[in-house]
Amino acid sequence: MTAPVLVLVGPPGAGKTTVGRLAAQRLQVSFRDTDADVEQRSGKSIPELFFGDGEETFRALEAEAVQRALEEHDGVLSLGGGAVLRDDTRERLKGHRVVFLAVGLSDGVKRVGMSAARPVLQLNPRAQLANLLAERLPLYREVASREVVTDGKTPEQVLGEVLAP
C-alpha cells in the first residue's frame, strides 16, 4: 500500500503549500495538494464550489480527495485547511506522519490578506480566521504527530523543523 511520506495540515496562511513544495523537493518526492485535486476533479475553483454548490458539497469532495490521496500518493501531501473537520478524515490520518503547521492570528492575516481564493475568510478575514483557529486547533493537534509554529519564520526555517528527526 502506498502512503505519503509527510502530510501537512493547518489553517489558511500556515504555509502548507509553500513548505510542502520545499519538503517534496528536499525529499526528492512529488508534492500533492488536495485543494488542487478537488478543483481538477470538479472542474470548478474552490470559491465556485463553496459558494455555488455549498460548503457541504465542497467538504464531501474534499474528504474524497483526501482519501484518494492517502491511498495513492507516496510523496508530500498538503490538505485543505478544513479537511480535519470531518471525523472520517481524522480517522484516516491515523498512522500517517502528520505535521501541523500552526500560525497565529497576526501572521495568518498578513499571509492570507483579502484573498478571494479563501472562501471561509470572505466576510471579515481577521474575525473569521480567529474563529477558525479556535475551532480547528484541537482537531489539528488530534491528527498531528508534530506541531511547528510558523510565525516569524522563513519557509526554509519551518522546513528544517518539519523534517527534524
Cell of 46: 474552490
Tell me what the mean pLDDT of segment 2-24 comes to. 94
Cell of 118: 479563501
pLDDT at 121 over 70: no
Instruction: State CA 40 to chain mean position distance.
Output: 17
Cell of 131: 474563529
Q: For residue 73, what pLDDT is reported?
A: 97
Sign of CA dihedral 76, 77, 81, 84: negative
Quote the crossing angle between the two packed helices 105-112 and 125-143, to the nearest 10°.
110
In whole angstroms, give the CA distance from residue 129 to residue 134: 9
Q: Is the pTM of this model over 0.85?
A: yes
Residues in contact with 56: Cβ distance below 8 Å, sequence separation at least 6, in sequence order: none
Instruction: State CA 78 to chain mean position distance.
Output: 5
What mean pLDDT is reported for the chain? 88
- Judge contact between 9 and 96, C-beta under 8 A: no
Cell of 13: 496562511
Q: For residue 109, what pLDDT is reported?
A: 54
Least confidently predicted of 49-53, 62-66, 101-105, 136-140: 101-105
Q: Where do the domains of the chain lie, and which CATH numbers do they carry?
A: 6-163 (3.40.50.300)
Q: Which amino acid is at 40?
A: Q
List the one residue out of 108, 63, 57, 72 whose CA is nearest residue 90.
63
Longest CA span, the chain: 43
Tell me what the mean pLDDT of segment 119-145 comes to. 77
Strand order in the sheet with 6-9: 31-33, 76-78, 6-9, 98-102, 146-149
